[in-house]
Amino acid sequence: MLRISLFGPPNRRIQPERYVQLGLKFFKLKKSIDKIIKIQYIVRYKEIIVENVVLYFSGTGNSLKVAKDISKELKNCEIVSMARPFNFVKQYDSIGFVYPTYFWGLPKKVIEFVENVNLGNNKNAYYYSITTYGGSAGNAIYQLYELLLNKHGVKLNYGQKLKMFSNYVITYDMSEKINEITKSSNEKLIPIINSIKMKKNNSLNKLTKMFKFINNDFIKKVSDMDKDFTVNNDCTGCGICEKVCPVKNIEMDDNKPQYKHHCEQCVACIQFCHKSQ
Ligand SMILES: Cc1cc2nc3c(=O)[nH]c(=O)nc-3n(C[C@H](O)[C@H](O)[C@H](O)COP(=O)(O)O)c2cc1C
Ligand code: SF4
Ligand code: SF4
């Protein structure tokens, strides 16, 4: 019977030591391929699961615009309203808070949201906040810093105020320089978003007692401040005010708005009413 040696004639056979060397080389090669596959997997996994969320409260749209601009710049970024409770079921890479300054501090809705929210498995996320304001932001960033720290043991890494136009038409007229102010706030927002993308930290101004006192007083009274709202015969019953109220404080009854006394004074109903003067 003809026997064929796979290893060639005796003088050309591979020596056993050579097998060991080849085995080791193969083992090393396999290890580095495994490493590359693992890295690719981690990168793809991160691309899929790394998510960001911007929590916003807004009456007349300034803060919503800022929240939208941030979310466009961050990958996989959700925008969530703080007007309703939110469940943190996912793990986020960054969590932002965007809201207007009300009476040199936080809006009541933002305080309630932060006090009651369960941040889930997100204690190590990057936390930042932006408050939009018209004249002076007072404590509106530091108040959030204290709330997050005291209620959740979480540190606000970065906070910035962004001057936009003031919308509080109840106490004064809207500025005629709206376009000019909007242009300037758009420009100022670019470096702020870049800082957020780079996960920068900054130091925040401490609470000013007088501003704290004024904001506390506002928070106590705000829910019932809609008692001063009146609707005259010009009202067409269009229901726009009911739709734009972020906290569902308006219900239409016989084509006239009825205020339910959990108002935030966000002035959306006044700003968007086509009959308001
Ligand atoms: C009830 C109320 C209180 C406000 N208090 C302040 C304030 O203390 N300081 C300030 O600079 N602007 C104040 N503003 C102006 C708003 O902070 C500013 O116009 C903000 O950009 C509005 O945001 P929004 O359009 O997202 O609601 C106040 C506005 C309202 C409605
Ligand atoms: S938006 Fe103005 S006109 Fe329309 S229902 Fe409300 S108050 Fe009336
Ligand atoms: S009733 Fe008007 S001011 Fe009060 S929360 Fe609703 S929209 Fe804002």
Domain ranges across the chain:
16-47, 50-218, 222-271
Residue pair 81/56 in contact (Cβ under 8 Å)? The answer is yes
- Cα separation of 18 and 220, whole Å? 85
d(CA 167, ligand 3 centre) in Å: 13
Q: Which residue from 183, 182, 73 is spatially nearest to 128, judged by alpha carbons? A: 73
Q: Whose CA is nearest to atom 2 of ligand 2?
A: 273
Q: Whose CA is nearest to atom 8 of ligand 3?
A: 266
C-alpha triplet 202, 208, 210: angle, nearest 5°: 160
From 223, 242, 245, 272, the mutation candidate for ligand 3 (largest count of ligand atoms within 8 A of CB) is 245
For ligand 1, say whether the CB of 145 is within 6 Å of any of its atoms.
no
According to CATH, the topology of domain 222-271 is Alpha-Beta Plaits (3.30.70)
- The one-digit pLDDT tens for each residue of the chain (277 residues) are 445 454 555 566 667 677 677 777 877 887 887 777 776 665 555 545 569 999 999 999 999 999 999 999 998 999 999 999 999 999 999 999 999 999 999 999 999 999 999 999 999 999 999 999 999 999 999 999 999 999 999 999 999 999 998 888 777 666 677 888 889 999 999 999 999 999 999 998 787 889 999 999 999 999 999 999 999 999 999 999 999 999 999 999 999 999 999 999 999 999 999 988 6
For ligand 1, say whether the CB of 132 is within 6 Å of any of its atoms.
yes
- Which atom in ligand 1 lies closest to the alpha carbon of residue 61? 25
Closest ligand to 265 CA? 3
Q: What is the pTM of this model?
A: 0.84
Give yes or no on whether 50-218 and 222-271 have one common fold: no
For ligand 1, say whether the CB of 106 is within 6 Å of any of its atoms.
no
Encoding tokens for residue 2?
Answer: 């003809």
Q: Which residue from 89, 83, 138, 137 is spatially nearest to 112, judged by alpha carbons? A: 83
Q: Which CATH architecture has domain 50-218?
A: 3-Layer(aba) Sandwich (3.40)
- Which atom in ligand 1 lies closest to the alpha carbon of residue 163? 21
Spell out which residues line ligand 3, taking CB within 6 angstroms.
59, 226, 245, 247, 249-250, 259, 263-269
Encoding tokens for residue 114?
Answer: 């932060």
Q: Whose CA is nearest to atom 7 of ligand 3?
A: 245
